[in-house]
Structures are given as C-alpha cells and as structure tokens.
Structure 1
Amino acid sequence: MERWPALELASTIRHDGEGGVADDLATAPGTTRWIRAQADLLAGCLPVGGITADEDLRIEITELRRAVRALFARAVSPAPPSPADARRLMPADQALAHLNSVAAREPVVPQLDWPQEGDPGARLLSAQDDPEVRLLAALARSAIDFLSGPRREQLRACTAPRCVRYFVKSHGRQEWCKPSCGNRARAARHYRRQHVATDHDPASS
C-alpha cells in the first residue's frame, strides 16, 4: 500500500481501541519513535535515524500536524472532517501560511541524477545542515505535494464509529480506512435499524 508522509503525520492522532483518541506525538520519546518509523519514507531527505526529538521539536511537529489536519479538513469538505479535532481546527488561511513557512525553512534545489544504465530521476539538494529543520521542511513539502496533487481528490475522513483517521480511497466503493472500520460501521448500522424497528413495534410496548 502506498504511503505518504503527510498522511502518516495526520494519522498520529488515532482511535486508541477503547473509545478514546491516542496521540503518538504526546511525548518527546513517542515523537522520536514516530520519526524513526518513517525512515523509509524520508530516507531521501535526511538521516532520520539520527534524530532524537526534544520537547521543542515535538511542539514544532504537532503544530505542523495541526496545519496539515486543518487543510485535510478543507480538502474533504463539504463532507465532515475527522471528529478528532473538528471543533478546534486551525483556520485554513493560518494553516496554509504555517505550512508554507515551514517548507521555506530549508533552501533546496532540484538535481537530476541519470545513471549510465538506468532511468533519470530527481533529488533535492539541501543547503540546510540542521536535521530537525530538514525533517520539518520535508514533512511540510510532502503535505504540499499531496494537497496539490491528484490524490487530494481521493482523500476522505473515515466515518466509522470512533475512527478519526484520514485515508486515501483505493477504489470507488471504499467508505472506510480499513476492513475493521467497515465491520464496526456495518454493526452500528444494524444496531440502529434494530433499535428503530423495536421503538416502532407496538408489540414491544
């Protein structure tokens, strides 16, 4: 399954499996674990394995996440956004300005690579030495690439009970982010139908 750093960042707010919401970035050690879990996605941008998050970096990443989730909410509109933060979203204009400012912290230039036996490819050459700045800018650029690309049209907020994830539709009939959410949603619909039928059945009175 294809993965996007911006979507992974947004998904650090998730259902905790017990009816609440968990935050993978709630602590600096948790943030470090998340950064290192993204090594395969960000390997071309910086040496992720060498970063240990402190509280300042954690706050920077969570603020960037706020901006990304606000813009994801705008992208799925007029459908409802994720219920995790629907009532306290960063204003879209503020989110846009924050995302662009974080991306601009790392000056980069595109470089063409074309091996003798292979296809040409592009990479970004950075003028920034600070790996934390490079991490933040890479996450911001990934959100810009995602939101300005064709996948934005397939972005959805999962409507299953208790789920707070955003996901990219992989086929036309997909309604939920994963099969377990589909099972939960169908069970909830069945319960509601049974409950309504019981409420309207005179024999049940």
Structure 2
Amino acid sequence: MDDTLATDTAQTALPPAPGADQYRSLDFADTVATLPAGQSYDLLATPGSAMHWLAAHDLTTPDVQLYEVCAQRMRALRAHVRALFAARVDSTTPPEDSLRAVNEALTAVPTAPLLAWDGAQGLRRIQAHPTDRAVNHALATLAADAADLLTGPDAGILAACGSAPCDRFLMRTHGRRHWCSTRCGDRARAARAYARRSVASD
C-alpha cells in the first residue's frame, strides 16, 4: 500500500467508537472494519500505517521503523483481542489460542522499571525500550489494556455494533446505544424506516 492509498484508507475509516478514548485496546480492535457495499479497511495493513497508528496512540515514537513482520504481529494480536471481545459480548467461552496469545504478549517484556547505574546520575529506575523491542512493548501495553477491559467494571458495557455489516466494538456508555458511529446509526435507522414502509405497502 503506498502513501496515497494509506491516506485514502485512513479517510475511509470510521471515527473512534465510544470508549476508544478510555481503552486503546478497543481502538486497536477497531482498526479493521467491514463497511456496506463490500467495502472494508485495515489501519494496520502496512508497516507504515501500523507505525502511524502506534505513534498516534503514544505507543512508540515516529522514528521507530516497523517491518512487515511487526505489522503481521500487530494484526495477529488484534485478531485474538477481537476474538476475546466477541466471546465476552456473546457470553461464550473465549478461544484458548486467543487467551494464550494475549498472555504471551503480556509476559514478553519486563513490566517493572529496571535498576540502572551511570556515573552522572547514580542509581535510577528506567523503563527499557530498546528500538528492537518497541513492538513488544506496544503489544504488551495493548494486551494489558484488553485484559483490564475484559475483567474490569466496564466489561458489561462492551458491545458489538448493531448496524450490519459493521463488525466494530464499542462501549455502550449512553443508555442503549447500539452503534459505533453516527454513520452506522443513520444506516440502521434508514434500514428500519425502509422495512416499515415495505410492510405498510404490502
């Protein structure tokens, strides 16, 4: 995907769903979506677009270069997070491989700041973020965020968008809201109105 296509993809993307400002893992899960008329988008489709998403969410710095293997790892974890979210929404047993993948991401990096020494500053605690492990740290942060969401007080308001074919997730923060965006809500209301008119004309 070239820069122009990546820009077009970002412009096609729906705005962040309710709750994405609280949980980066929710926004991460929603980086791929199905749209009407056979359309879709993937904000992690290339190393460049994946890097842009990570930097925009303060998960790394823009100067870190991502490779396709890194973008693939991000897409793989996203699929597992989505599977866990779907299981929570549907009240089904979560897939074992998805639990394992999230736990592997959680334990891939040290969580506690390390103890370091240098002549100028003496002993101090540092969070090790070597460039070659930047993606590990980002994935660990997203996995921890997903685990917090799935086990915390907001788990009960995690929902799937109710406007087919959209397959994004949202937090149902405003009463009975069932849609991830105004666009999806408008489409669902239009479909209901059309169905009512069709029944009335029969």
Shorter-chain TM-score tier: 0.7 to 0.9
1:153 aligns with 2:156: yes
Unaligned runs of 5+ in 1: 80-90, 112-123
The Cα shift of 1:173 comes to 2.2
The share of aligned pairs that are identical, in percent, is: 35
Aligned residue identity for 1:56: V
Q: Which has the higher relative contact order, 1 or 2, with Cα contacts under 8 A spaced 6 or more apart?
A: 2
Residue pair 2:43, 2:49 contacting (<8 A) in 1 also:
yes
SS at match of 2:177: coil
Number of aligned residues? 170
2:72 aligned to which of 42, 50, 59: 59
Residue pair 1:106, 1:128 contacting (<8 A) in 2 also:
no
Residue equivalent to 2:44: 25
Distance 1:125 1:8, change over 3 A: farther
Structure 1, residues 28-51: CA drift from partner, whole Å, max 9, x if none?
111112112212xx4xxxx43332
2-side partners of 1:125 and 1:75: how far apart?
36
1:36 aligns with 2:59: no
1:16-165 correspondence runs (5 A): 16=35, 19-39=38-58, 42=59, 47-78=60-91, 92-109=95-112, 126-127=127-128, 129=130, 130-165=133-168
Unaligned runs of 5+ in 2: 1-18, 115-124
The Cα shift of 1:19 comes to 4.0
SS at match of 1:22: strand
Residue pair 2:36, 2:166 contacting (<8 A) in 1 also:
no
Measured on the aligned residues, the alpha-carbon RMSD in Å equals 2.4
Could you list the structure 1 runs, at least 4 aligned residues long, displaced by more than 6 angstroms after superposition. Answer: none
Aligned residue identity for 1:147: L
Q: TM-score, normalised by structure 1?
A: 0.74
The Cα shift of 1:167 comes to 0.3
Distance 1:197 1:125, change over 3 A: farther
